[in-house]
A = this chain, B = another copy of it.
Amino acid sequence: MANGDGPAGDGGEPGAATRLHGFSRDELHGLLADMLLYRRFEEKAEEAYAIGKIGGFCHLHIGQEGLAAGAIKPLRADDLVVTAYREHTQAIAKGIDPRAVMAELYGRTGGCSGGRGGSMHLFDTAVGFYGGHGIVGAQIPLGAGLAWAIRYRGGDQICVCFMGDAAVNQGAFLESLNMSAVWKLPVVYVVENNGYGMGTAFSRVSATDVEARSGAYGIPAHTVDGQDALETYRFFERLAERVRRGAGPQFVNAVTYRFRGHSMSDPVSGTYRSKEEVESHVRGRDPIALLRDRLMEAALLTRKELEGIDADARAACDDAAAFADASPLPAPSTLYDHVYAEINPNGRLFLDGREGAPAGGRAGGGGRTPAGGGAKGGRRG
C-alpha cells in the first residue's frame, strides 16, 4: 500500500466477503506486508547491533508497528511527519527506502542522513519525514512549526507529530499544544502510549492519564488501539481528512506496547515490568499477529501467502543490510561539511584552527586535509 492511496474500498472487487473493514484483499496484504517489513527490519537491526555493525543508541519499535502503518500509511505523500528517536519503522512507513534507513544505522554515506545522524536522526525531506529527534519533547514545537509553515503557505497538507507517553510531561508539550490551538494549526499530535518512559511506568510520574492532557488547550482528544492496525488506519484516515479541511489540531492517545527493552542495553523486562506482563502482550497484543489471524479467519490470507509476504520482508531486510554494509563510510574530508550552509564565507566559522578546518573566505585557503584528530594549527611566521 503506497502513500497517498486514499481511502480503501474502491477496488471494484466482487463482494463484501472479500473485504475487511472496507479494505480490499490487496490492501490488507499490503498492510500486513508493511508491518512485517517493519518487524523484520527491526530484527535485522537487532542482529546488526549485536555484531557491532550499528553503534550508539538503537530504540526498536517492535510491538508498535500498528502505529507506523496505521497512522502514517493513510497520509498523503506531501504530508509531514516528525517524531522522536524510536523512528525506524515510521521512517520506512513514510517512504524512506529501508536500505537508506539501514545504511544510516550503519553510519554510512548511503544512509538517509548520510551516516551523520544515526538511528535517532533519520531524515528525508523528499518524502516529508522530518526526523528523528533525541531530546524528549523537542519535536513537539518542531511539529507545530512544520504545521505553521503549511498554514502560512495555504497548503492543505497536515503534519503528524509523534511522541512517547513520557514526553507529555515536558513543558514543550503545553507550549506547543496551546500555540497550535490558538493558531488552529493543521497538526495531529500522536502519543505512542506504550505505558513506559524507559523504566518508569507512566502512572508513577504522571498525575493523570494521557488523554486528559489536551483538554487544557481545548484540543480534542481521541484514544485508539494502536495494536489494531485496521482500526488505527481508518481512524487516522478520517482524522487526517478533517484536519486537512480545517478542523484544527488533534490529539491522539494511541495505546500500544513495546516488546523490547527501551534501547539495546535495556533488558526486555526487569524491575519496572514483569516478564509476565511483557509476555501477555507479546502473546495477545502483537499487532502483526492480530492482523494475520484476522485475515486468516476471514479467509483473506493463506498460510502460503503469509510465508510469501514474510519471505519478501526478510529478503528486503537482508538486501538493506547488504546495501548498508557495502555503503562507504563518510570521507574524513567531509567532517566540516554541513555545519553551515556555506563553508567558506567571510571570517572564520570554525574556531578550532585545525589544519583540516576550512579557514574562511578572506583568510584564503583552508584546504580540506583531514584533521587527524585535531591539534591546533601551527603559528604563523
- State the CA gap A213–B219 with chains docked (Å): 12
Cβ of A334 to closest chain B Cβ, rounded Å: 37
> In whole angstroms, how far apart are the Cα atoms of A208 and B182 in the complex?
9
- Taking CB atoms, residues of chain B closer than 8 Å to A213 are 216
Q: Do B218 and A212 have beta carbons less than 8 Å apart?
A: yes
Q: Which of A168-176, A239-247, A320-328, A343-351 contacts B (4 or more CB under 8 A)?
A: A168-176
Chain B residues lying within 8 Å of A206, measured Cβ to Cβ, are 178, 182
A182 touches B205 (CB 8 A): yes
Complex Cα–Cα for A217 and B213 (A): 8
A173 to B171, CA, bound (A): 7
Could you say which residues of chain B place their CB within 8 Å of the CB of A207? 177-178, 181-182, 217-219
Give how many A residues have a beta carbon under 8 Å from the other chain's beta carbons: 24
The residue on B at minimum CB distance from A203 is B182
Q: Report if A155 contacts B (CB, 8 A).
A: no
Q: How far is the CA of A174 from the CA of B169 in the complex (A)?
A: 7
Measured between beta carbons, the chain B residues less than 8 angstroms from A171 are 170-175
Q: Please indicate the chain B residues that have their CB under 8 angstroms from the CB of A205 in the complex.
A: 178, 182
Q: Determine the residue in chain B with the shortest Cβ distance to A204.
A: B182
**A6 CB contacts on chain B under 8 angstroms:** none
Q: Is A267 on the interface with B (CB-CB < 8 A)?
A: no
Number of copies: 2
A173 CA to B178 CA, complexed, in Å = 12
Determine the distance from Cα of A178 to Cα of B173 in the docked complex, in whole angstroms: 12
CB of A215 within 8 A of chain B?
Answer: yes
Q: How far is the CB of A167 from chain B (nearest CB, A)?
A: 11
Which residues of chain B come closer than 8 Å to A174, judged between CB atoms?
A: 169-171, 173-174
Report the minimum CB–CB distance from A172 to chain B (whole Å): 6
Q: Which residue of B lies closest to A219 (CB)?
A: B207
- Set of chain B residues within 8 Å of A216, measured between Cβ atoms: 208, 212-216
What is the minimal beta-carbon distance from A191 to any residue of chain B, in angstroms? 13
Chain A residues 171-229 with CB under 8 Å of chain B are: 171-175, 177-178, 181-182, 204-208, 212-219
CB distance from A147 to the nearest CB of B (A): 15
With contacts A169-B175, A173-B174, A174-B174 known, what are 14 further pairs, Cβ within 8 A? A169-B178, A170-B171, A171-B171, A171-B173, A178-B205, A178-B206, A181-B207, A182-B204, A182-B205, A182-B206, A207-B217, A212-B215, A212-B216, A213-B216
Give 10 closest A-B pairs by Cβ, nearest first.
A171-B171, A181-B207, A174-B174, A216-B216, A207-B217, A208-B218, A207-B218, A213-B216, A171-B175, A182-B207
20 contacts between A and B (CB under 8 A): A169-B174, A169-B178, A171-B171, A171-B173, A171-B174, A171-B175, A174-B174, A177-B207, A181-B207, A182-B204, A182-B206, A182-B207, A207-B217, A207-B218, A207-B219, A208-B216, A208-B218, A213-B216, A214-B216, A215-B215
